[in-house]
Amino acid sequence: MPGDKLTEDVIGDRFGVSRTIVRTVLARLYAEGLVDMQPNKGATIAQPSLSEAQDVFETRMCLERQVIARLAEKVTEDDMESLQRHVELETKANIHDGSAAIRLAGEFHILLASLSGNKVLARYVDEVVSRSSLILALYSRPHSSDCSINEHQQIIDALRQGDGQAAIDAMDHHLKAVADRALLSSTSDKHRDIRSILDRYAS
């Protein structure tokens, strides 16, 4: 799916709106790095290179460390409760609904960021999480089970015990694991880039 053309008319017809609307949302998605755009040539679903993917994960780690550092100082009992509830949702979904599980895994990080109370941080985390999802869709093999729920649990456990450093370490460990699953599953992106070129001449 990444690399696919996003023709304004087609999308507009699909949703029953005019190109005006489609255009603004495409521009927003471009700003968020989810679609690529070239002048006079329109939009395509973004196809981040390996190095872009590394940039995203590095930035994400930097941002989420800050989220945890802030939370370690100010989490309330209510916050912990909603985090715990979320992880339980994840465990349930992980059994019978794979696509919901993937969504919830991302939303855990967004929830953390919003609980931090820093809107700017939260917006950036939201962006890098979305981009991470795209990267996973691109590079990680289909059935690499995202069994990261334990890691989520470890993070909130450390937070509950008020151990900021342990929480940061847990988050670091978790994000490194996610990045590894995505980026190390393909040694080099040449192979993937070539595939894309081949695909274009295949039909």
Least distance CB 54 / DNA (angstroms): 29
| Contacting residue, 3, 4, 9, 196, with DNA by CB under 7 A | 9
Q: Is 142 an interacting residue with respect to DNA (CB under 7 A)?
A: no
The 3-state secondary structure of the chain, one letter per residue = CCCCEECHHHHHHHHCCCHHHHHHHHHHHHHCCCEEEECCCEEEECCCCHHHHHHHHHHHHHHHHHHHHHHHHHCCHHHHHHHHHHHHHHHHHHHHCHHHHHHHHHHHHHHHHHHCCCHHHHHHHHHHHHHHHHHHHHHCCCCCCCCCHHHHHHHHHHHHCCCHHHHHHHHHHHHHHHHHHHHCCCCCCHHHHHHHHHHHCCC
Sketch the per residue contact string, 145 through 184, with its own copies: x for CB under 8 A, - otherwise.
----------------------------------------
Name which of residues 79 to 138 contact DNA (CB under 7 A). Answer: none
- Which stretches of the chain bind DNA, using CB under 7 A? 5-9, 16-21, 23, 37, 39-43
- Which stretches of the chain bind its own copies, using CB under 8 A? 23-24, 27-28, 31, 33, 52, 55-56, 58-59, 62-63, 65-66, 70, 118-121, 124, 128, 131
